[in-house]
Every structure is written in structure tokens, then in C-alpha cells.
Amino acid sequence: NAGVTQTPKFQVLKTGQSMTLQCAQDMNHNSMYWYRQDPGMGLRLIYYSASEGTTDKGEVPNGYNVSRLNKREFSLRLESAAPSQTSVYFCASSESGNTIYFGEGSWLTVV
């Protein structure tokens, strides 16, 4: 039972490079989320998708774009990476705002 799968697990980018974090869930959940977590801190919501075909900004959307490709997949794109985007990124899914299930995290370093 895979749950939420996100890739890559580790990535180093140079400032200005672009990349896409991929996320897929196999629990048939309507809602999907992208969070970032800085060292020792809580999670901050970047974007979320309440259902297939919709996306909304969270608390810290600047510098990111998302795509809800279908019900299973929700990708996060950094168009021009900045050192301030160095963080751990978590994808998650839930059934309409109930318990969140998280992926294992993606460690991103921007140099």
C-alpha cells in the first residue's frame, strides 16, 4: 500500500534553475496539499487542491506553481529557484479536510 509517493527525495539546485516535484496518491482522496518545513519549524501550506481541477493558494505560494494533473497527481514547480526555497517539501492528501496522509518528504537545497 503506497499511500502518498513523492519524488525526488533529494535534490540540489543552483539559483535560477527550475524543477518539478512530483506527487501521487493511491487512496482516491479528493484533496491534495504541498507544504514546506524549515528546520525545527511547523509546516506551512504552499498550495492545495480541494478536488480534481481546482487549486488554491496557501500561506506561502510565492515562487511556486502547481498542477492537479488528475485525481491522483499533484505537482509543485519552482520556476526560478532561490536559496530561500531551501526546505523539506511534503506532499499530502486527505478526504476533504479529514486526516492528512503525508509523503516521505523531498529535501531541496538551492545553492
Partner 1 sequence: TQLLEQSPQFLSIQEGENLTVYCNSSSVFSSLQWYRQEPGEGPVLLVTVVTGGEVKKLKRLTFQFGDARKDSSLHITAAQPGDTGLYLCAGAYSSASKIIFGSGTRLSIRP
- Residues 62, 107, 73: CA angle, nearest 5 degrees: 65
Stretch that binds partner 1, among 13-21, 25-33, 64-72, 75-83 (CB under 8 A): 25-33
Stretch that binds partner 1, among 15-23, 40-48, 69-77, 79-87 (CB under 8 A): 40-48
Stretch that binds partner 1, among 10-18, 20-28, 45-53, 75-83 (CB under 8 A): 45-53
Query: Which residue, chain included where needed, has cell 479529514?
Result: 98
Residue from the set 7, 19, 44, 71 that interacts with partner 1 by CB under 8 A: 44
Rule CB under 8 A: say whether 50 interacts with partner 1.
yes
Minimal CA–CA distance to 29: which of 84, 99, 77? 99
- For 55, the grid coordinates are 487549486
Minimal CA–CA distance to 81: which of 110, 43, 45, 44? 110
Half-sphere exposure of 95 (CA within 13 A, CB side): 4
Residue 14 or 99 with smaller CB distance to partner 1:
99
**Binding residues vs partner 1 (CB under 8 A):** 30-31, 33, 35, 40-45, 48, 50-51, 56, 58-59, 90, 92, 94, 96-100, 102-105
